[in-house]
Amino acid sequence: MVAKVGDDNFGPQLLDNLKHAGVDTNAMAQTVGSSGLAPMFVADDGQNAIVVVPGANGKMDRAAVDKHADLIRSAGMVLCQLEIPMDTLGYTLELCANAQVPVMLDPAPAATLPDAVWKQVAWFTPNETEAAFYVGEAKTVEDTAQRLHAKGLRGVVLKRGAEAHLFPLRATGRSGSSHSRWIPSTPWVRRLLQRRVCRGA
């Protein structure tokens, strides 16, 4: 993982928890200030709400990306979130595009994205609230996916709280038209995606 933690009490705890989970933290750095928090609250109906308190990852800059450029280029896929500055995200996307490394973007916390970002992302993984931020309220999940695909995305994972996740895949047929194929989230599918998300993140 390529990221930063603060010099508060949470920083060492975060590093220890990641190491315990088997995450390689050699590319993580400590910086002055808060690590940031994202406490999650789960309602009785299974829906969750996450309160984001920005922190150390907001100090991720181009220099941090350059420092670990070889690691990122060696990845099978890079996972990014919007805890990092938009300039850093764009810089990382360009690095990955030049190295032909696909990018999965988890748009949390939701923020307005430059037009260029949409076509540089292989997988876009919003929850229902984040999806509505980008394409408005839709009548069906299929409509939500189609609106997101229209922005130039190749693949969308819609995270739907207590319900099964859906994986709409954008594919081009012989006629040149594109379509979505819906795959329910199963343990096998989740393990497959986990293996595809690689060392640079």
Report pTM: 0.79
pLDDT digits (tens, 9 = 90+) for 109-134: 999 999 999 999 999 999 888 999 99
* pLDDT given at position 50: 76
Which residue numbers in the chain have pLDDT < 70? 161-201
* Three-state SS at 29: strand
* pLDDT given at position 78: 96
The full length of the chain comes to 201
pLDDT digits (tens, 9 = 90+) for 22-39: 999 999 999 999 999 888
* pLDDT given at position 184: 54
* pLDDT given at position 143: 87
* Three-state SS at 53: strand
Could you give phi then psi for residue 149, rounded to 5 degrees?
-60, -35
Q: Are strands 28-31 and 40-42 parallel, antiparallel or unpaired?
A: unpaired
* pLDDT given at position 65: 97
What is the Cα–Cα distance from 175 to 172, expressed in whole angstroms?
8
**Count of helix runs (H) and strand runs (E) in the chain:** 8, 10
What is the Cα–Cα distance from 84 to 61, expressed in whole angstroms?
8
* pLDDT given at position 200: 38
61-64's contacts with Cβ under 8 Å and 24+ in sequence apart are 61/85, 61/87, 61/88, 62/87, 62/88, 62/91, 64/2, 64/4, 64/29, 64/88
177-186's contacts with Cβ under 8 Å and 24+ in sequence apart are 178/149, 180/142, 180/145, 180/146, 180/149, 182/142
Q: Are 182 and 143 in contact (CB under 8 A)?
A: no
* pLDDT given at position 173: 41
* pLDDT given at position 14: 92
* Three-state SS at 134: helix
